[in-house]
Amino acid sequence: MIQVAIMGYGTIGSGVAEVLEQNREKIAEAVGEEVALKYVLDLRDFPDSPVADKIIHDFKVIEEDPEVSIVVETMGGLNPSYPFVKACLLAGKNVTTSNKALVAAYGTELLEIAREKSVNFMFEASVGGGIPIIRPLYRCLNGEKIEEITGILNGTTNYILTKMDKCGATFESALKEAQDLGYAERNPEADVEGHDTCRKIAILTAMATGHEVNYEDIYTEGITKITDVDFRYAEKMGASVKLFGTSQIDGDKVHAWVAPVMIGKDHPLYMVSDVFNGILVEGNMLGTSMYYGSGAGKLPTASAVVADIIEEAQNLKSNVRLGWDAKRLEIEPMLSSRHRYFVRVAGTLVDKEKTVEEAFGEVEKIVLDGTGEFAFVTDEMPEASFMAKKAELEAEVLQFIRARI
């Protein structure tokens, strides 16, 4: 029998316990022996829960019990998750986590400890919730040179943008609805400012390149400046706006960024709506593959954690080759990345058309009647060139959004 401990009995931790119990026969068949939950570490008591007799409050019980060979970290944050996970690995225990903040901040160190101790540190659920994406990168796509990863990686922001798109909601009203439904925190900054997506694309970039990525090096722009007017233009153009986390790899040059992007109906991620996530991976031989599903939620995320438990149970005393090394990857500046741009300008097209074309040349123009403004879409160009042209434009720029249309 393989003994498991869970640290943190919140939404995800309780989901892991539920999956281990409900699917125990399937899990045992995959592993070759029974996988049983021994401890659940939490500050609270849960007298009416199915794990009431397994609740403990002292981490040392897990750390010092030689029967516990796999530890699940679902506490979130960095403290005490980081020292607890590090201690478990040093004690020769396998660890799986759903904590993207932990993986983004300390993944390099924890992966190295796991290698030294011939155990495993796995984190499938840290990106994409229940969507398999980490494992495909080190298993199915291991022979590919990954050239690009682009994803809708945050369910909260995708829900907000979907409401703005389909229902004509403002950002503020869509955010409030997301909060009322429990999709967004009372303090939504990590989601709406793009920080959550930033950590996830940092992890995926590190997986794709094999080198450490400092998430603080990644240009990050959230959705707080996107308006209902932007979506009125998008509707007229047969387009929508999504928050992308993107990593583009060209030899030793890597661009990684987080920003809203206007996309057309022919884009594979156009139909990814509400709290769902979608991830595109482009390999040099395979071409483009897509991964779609529930990016959050109790049981979908728990399912991904349990997949890690199974692989660790199959490799209790051997390290599975995955992750990245300690060599810091240099991320290219955002100003050198290339995009098309959707731009809104104050004034009428009649008055400002010549000014726009003097700065940007021939552009696609869009007019919304009765707004006192118009918009245009540029050709693809380096961001530095766009910023220079925008600064020279003798007109008030109300908004610009990078575009793939």
Provide the annotated active-site residues: 200
Which backbone phi and psi does 157 adopt, to 5 degrees?
-70, -35
Give the burial string for 26-61 (b: 16+ CB within 10 Å, else e). ebbebbeeebbbbbbbbeeeeeeeebeebbbeebee
Q: For the chain, first and last CA: distance in Å? A: 54
Integer Cα distance of 19 and 129 in angstroms = 15
CA atoms within 13 A on the CB side of 361: 6
Structure tokens at 261: 């992007």
Only one residue has tokens 């950590």, namely: 199
Q: Tell me the angle at which helices 100-116 and 195-209 cross, rounded to the nearest 10 degrees.
A: 30
Integer Cα distance of 191 and 224 in angstroms = 10
Taking each continuous run of H as one helix and of E as one strand, the counts in the chain are 14, 19
Integer Cα distance of 151 and 164 in angstroms = 19
Long-range Cβ contacts of 138-142 (<8 Å, 24+ apart): 138/207, 138/320, 138/321, 138/322, 138/323, 141/281, 141/283, 141/286, 141/289
